[in-house]
Amino acid sequence: MDTSEAALNILRQNANLNGAAIEAVNADVFDFLRSKYDGSERFDLIVLDPPAFCKSKRHLREALKGYREINLRAMKLLSRHGFLFTCSCSQPVASETFIEVLRAAGGDSGRSFHIREILHHPQDHPVLLGFPESQYLKCVVLQVV
């Protein structure tokens, strides 16, 4: 899912080259997730990898609200024992802060989750000891209990 039809066309071409059957949806993810609430469709796996919601600390508050909302919506649409892979590439959002946002969203969802794994970018993107914001990529794997 993406709002860019050009990006989706590249995805479709890549999937075709690799013999993969996919459904590429041109939509805003917030609207899409909201539209699924009333239906019975639930998902075994949801991957959230949005663009950076926050590029500077002055936008941190709005970004955290966005991360909470998108994750809450996804959490409500997971099937029993479903998985959520959720990412943030916003530099000002520390790993601990991102996990707190997920904890709050999980509480609001009325569901329980296990943290299965916390991932960061690979070694070819080193983190500078004196610049913690260089550890910008965070991915948390959650499973509905």
Active site residues: 89
Single-letter amino acid code for the residue at 140: V
Q: How far apart are the first and last CA of the chain?
A: 26
143 alpha-carbon distance from chain centroid: 14
Structure tokens at 95: 């790993």
Residue 120: beta bridge partners? 138
Single-letter amino acid code for the residue at 17: L
Kindly tell me the burial class for residue 88, based on how many C-beta atoms sit within 10 Å of its own C-beta (0-12, 13-18, 19 or more): buried
Structure tokens at 13: 């071409």
